[in-house]
Amino acid sequence: MGRIIENLNLSEQVTNELGRAIVAGEYSCESGLPTEAQLCEEYGISRTAVREAVKMLAAKGLISSRPRQGISVEQPSNWNLYDTSVLKWLLSSSPSLYVLKEFLQMRLAIEPEAAALAAEFGRDEDIDQIGKAVEAMKAAANDPSGSMHDADLAFHTSILFASGNRFFSHLRDFISTALNVSIQHTTPAKANDLAVADDHAKIYTAIRNRQPERARNLMKYLIDEAKTFIELEIKKQG
């Protein structure tokens, strides 16, 4: 599939392993982590690599280390959930439907407002990008290849970007990471692809026509449908 070789150095690999394990709960908040020396032995690497990994995880708020006390896991409320790695570890480990619901509540706050800002202040060339994404979605709806996902993602990120607000546009990684996981659950009824693409197109039109309130409401509707779907799934399983 021409997948690009993971270009991670040693400390980043260890960071990934430990980060995943911490988020998955393999190291509790009280028990703490093994000592540096033990980690060296466990992974068969030097202290330098372990220490760099520890520093990276500390920078993401997952752990803290003090002399004599060792390496301790921080409370989950201190974890930086808006770090792409942390979010990825979280979504790949925990019972995902509940996290997805929280995630959709978040999107319901962010994206309608971003759409409104894009309609009000967005630069024309940034709005063009939204249009391109819509066209790609329409094309993907007729095309059996699985390019719908990419186009969908491009649509949402281009709106965040068009908001002209760096706090919104930075959430593109947050949205993307979580969207990649949510795909697994929202087993799309392939039949409505055209209808879905049309819903997206309406939002684009509202932004293009500089109708903030309309863009906000249409986006609210779009995400609320996804949220309702997840809530139904939870009810089925629960």
List residues binding DNA (CB under 7 A). 9-11, 35-37, 45-49, 51-52, 54, 65-71
Helix axis angle, 193-208 relative to 148-162, nearest 10°? 20
Q: Is residue 15 a contact point for a second copy (CB under 8 A)?
A: yes
Q: Is residue 17 a contact point for a second copy (CB under 8 A)?
A: no
87 vs 137, beta carbon nearer a second copy? 87
Write down the residue that tokens 């540096």 correspond to: 36
Work out how close the CB of 78 gets to DNA at its nearest, in angstroms, rounded to a whole number.
Answer: 17
Listed in sequence order, the residues at least 6 apart from 82 whose beta carbon sits closer than 8 Å to its beta carbon are 171, 174
Is there a contact between 209 and 120 (Cβ–Cβ < 8 Å)?
Answer: no
Is there a contact between 26 and 35 (Cβ–Cβ < 8 Å)?
Answer: no
Stretch that binds a second copy, among 35-43, 73-81, 151-159, 222-230 (CB under 8 A): 73-81
Stretch that binds a second copy, among 24-32, 97-105, 149-157, 202-210 (CB under 8 A): 97-105
Stretch that binds a second copy, among 34-42, 104-112, 133-141, 150-158 (CB under 8 A): 104-112
Work out how close the CB of 69 gets to DNA at its nearest, in angstroms, rounded to a whole number.
Answer: 5
Half-sphere exposure at residue 27, Cβ-oriented, CA atoms within 13 angstroms: 19
How far, in Å, CA of 153 to CA of 97, rounded? Answer: 20
147 vs 165, beta carbon nearer a second copy? 165
